Amino acid sequence: MRFRPLLLLASLLLQLLCASAHSAERPPLSAFFSNPEFSAALLSPSGQHLAVKIGSSGKRERLAVVDLATQQVTVVGNFTDADVGDFQWVNDQRLAFTAADRDLAQGEKRYAPGLYAVNRDGTGFRQLAMRTATPYISDGSALRTKGELLPWHTYLMGQRGAQNSDYLYLLDKHFVGRAQVDYVRLVRVNTVTGRQAAERIDSPDNTMHWLLDFQGEPRLVQTLDKNLSAIHYRDPATKAWRKLAEFDAYRGDKDTFTPLSFGPDGTLYVIAHHGQNTSAVYTFDLEKLVLSDKPVIRLDGYDFSGQLLMNQQKLLGVRYLNDAYSTEWLDDDLKAMQAKVDSMLPNTINLLTSPRRPASPWLLVSAYADIWPTRTFLYNRETQKIQQIGATHPAIEPQQMARTTLVHYRARDGLDIPAWLTVPLGESKNLPMVVLVHGGPFVRGSSWRWDPEVQFLASRGYAVLQPEFRGSTGFGRQHFRAGWKQWGLKMQDDIADGARWAIARGTADAQRICIAGASYGGYATLMGLVNDPELYRCGIEWAGVTDINLMRTGHWAYVSDMSENWKQYGIPQLVGDPEKDAEQLKATSPLLQAGRIKQPLLLAHGGADLRVPLVHGTRFYDAVKQNNPNVEWIEYPDEGHGWALPATRYDFWGRVEKFLDKHIGAH
């Protein structure tokens, strides 16, 4: 790998970032499933410089820095045989970044991300961590031997540090086998010299997560020992750890909380239910070990998900997710700037980011909508002008996209089910419909945003329903717990009830409904065909679980990244106990029920999938094809749990389009 710093004219960068495709009658498949052309931007701590990742079709992604005062652009990080991966500011002068490869699927990857650092003018490059056993060679001044480099399992932390020195905290992940993380250490490294700090940062056994305080120092860890998760606090004066709380990692209890962040004054903010159905943000008393009586922030009808926005002195605002992301500003100046930006970009949700120690008038703006992929802007608070610097999918034209609406319907037992409904442009009645089931399943499925899969289907004439069935998170503890041990049962009923709701309101044609999904969504697709053969005319399953016991017991021929703790303690409690629930697990196994599936079926699996290994797909295909001649099988040998390569996405979604047109055709 060779590193080549380059200088470019600002005009060339802006042409690259802002180029847009001509309008087409029907957007091509590639417009939805190509890699983003602009994927990340970060203001420096002072706000005087902007770091961006730039790339285009057929070119490697590079790291560039824009001097916002002069508009001069410097490409500071690029590789001849790799893309720039993640990056962050170490301080106002220096950046750290990793390598990635957008041209390789999971099974082809032979390298870790590595770690590199460079000054914002392109000087001072240094490799910090290996990608393999062989060190990276740069110029003579930065030549490193293998022994001097951090090991390959060193990663960026993803948290903002103090950003006032050349030092950076990094995660040192220790693996069991190839895929499972055993514990995580924290190391502090000088990004100029590459040397670790003399002081070793000790932590309790079984540490899995670290949290820095507002000053960028390690202050909190979360451990996992079997099924018990504990939170430990590091005293600023003595550097000693003490336990704050302990609870069941999978079931939780009334005292369970999740650390969120520290304030400038050392206040610990956490997310907890505290006896309520939905979680909210509370403060946690580090001496009395209790939550505040009243929440700092509570959302109506949603569990809190988001972040607190602060400067050196105070809490400025709260960014949160309800149906979409939004910001509630407590600072009057930022509130006024939000109103100004919203008036300039009236058709999108606009998320403002201010630098931690602003010394310039610039703010970063991320703008998106259900019909508009994310665009990134710079706003100048002095001139009150805004300029676009990049777009993820510039070939997409919003007037060609379909609107997404959050709807609610009642399941057969009366439970309220939120769902996302997308209806093609110009049509609203008796449509062919795809019921798209999210993975997880114990996660939130979606939000109000531009979704390439959904919009692609809508552009081809299909309505799309995405149920947030019981077991989905984000909508309160009752909704989540109602899904425990309900794989293939009430969770499945919720999905079918959504399809029938769409038929009853006239949106969906009862004779033209297909169910589809990946991972757990693939499992639900197969069980939908088993449970409701009269409802679904066809199914599309990719990377799907085909047998619950197979997740737990594994197979000699593959490596899984599911932790042994989840297999031993999580699956029995949330999915099903292999002994107590043995009959239920048989009845809800697509593999064992494969003979009942007669509808046309499209199956796709990755040969390098570590989450749902290939054996799930091959065993099911062998079983289902014995009684069903209408099964199409695709194996992508080097892909993992999802499609990393544009070529794979083009092939798969092209097959999906032909499959749907054949069986529930929109035209």
CA atoms within 13 A on the CB side of 524: 31
Retrieve residue 353's tokens.
Answer: 């980011």
Q: Is the pTM of this model over 0.85?
A: yes
Q: What per-residue confidence (pLDDT) applies to 141?
A: 40
Q: What per-residue confidence (pLDDT) applies to 552?
A: 79
Strand, coil or helix: what is 517?
strand
Q: Please give the distance of CA 428 from its chain centroid, rounded to a whole number.
A: 31
Q: What is the DSSP letter of 313?
A: S
User: b/e map of 75-108 (b: 16 or more CB within 10 Å)?
Assistant: bbbbbeebbbbbbbbbbbbbbbbbbbbbbbbbbe
Which residues does 198 contact at the CB level (< 8 Å), separation at least 6? none
Retrieve residue 100's tokens.
Answer: 């990635």
Q: Which residues pair with 386 in a beta bridge?
A: 379
- Residue 359, Ramachandran bin (φ over 0: left; ψ between -120 and 50: alpha; else beta): alpha
Domains in the chain: boundaries: 1-167+348-394, 402-664
Q: Rg (Cα) of the chain, in Å, rounded?
A: 25
Q: Please give the distance of CA 409 from its chain centroid, rounded to a whole number.
A: 27
Chain position carrying tokens 């403002």: 352
Distance CA 608, CA 558 (A): 9
Polymer length in residues for the chain: 667
CB 516 within 8 A of CB 525: yes
Q: What per-residue confidence (pLDDT) applies to 426?
A: 86
Q: What per-residue confidence (pLDDT) applies to 4?
A: 32
Q: What per-residue confidence (pLDDT) applies to 13?
A: 38
Strand, coil or helix: what is 136?
coil
Distance CA 430, CA 515 (A): 17
Q: What is the DSSP letter of 566?
A: I
Which residues does 449 contact at the CB level (< 8 Å), separation at least 6? 324, 368, 369, 370, 404
Distance CA 176, CA 181 (A): 6
pLDDT for 561-579, tens place per residue?
A: 778 888 888 899 999 999 9
In this structure, the number of other CB atoms found within 10 A of the CB of residue 642 comes to 17
Q: Which residues pair with 124 in a beta bridge?
A: none
pLDDT for 465-517, tens place per residue?
A: 999 999 999 999 999 999 999 999 999 999 999 999 999 999 999 999 999 99
Retrieve residue 575's tokens.
Answer: 């999915």
Q: CA of 452: how far to CAs of 18, 286, 392, 543, in Å?
A: 20, 44, 11, 18
Which residues does 96 contact at the CB level (< 8 Å), separation at least 6? 87, 88, 90, 115, 116, 117, 128, 156, 168, 191
Q: Which residues pair with 100 in a beta bridge?
A: 83
Residue type, 585: L
Distance CA 440, CA 422 (A): 21
Closest CA to 576 of 551, 558, 605, 600: 551
CB 389 within 8 A of CB 378: yes
Closest CA to 268 of 185, 201, 211: 211
Residues of the chain with pLDDT under 50: 1-24, 135-146, 556
Q: What per-residue confidence (pLDDT) applies to 667?
A: 61
Helix (H) or strand (E) holding 664: helix 646-664
CB 525 within 8 A of CB 437: yes
CB 269 within 8 A of CB 258: no
Distance CA 187, CA 196 (A): 7
* Pairing, β 241-248 against β 228-234: antiparallel
CB 448 within 8 A of CB 371: no
Q: CA of 175: how far to CAs of 31, 86, 109, 172, in Å?
A: 38, 21, 17, 10
| Architecture of the domain made up of 402-664 | 3-Layer(aba) Sandwich (3.40)
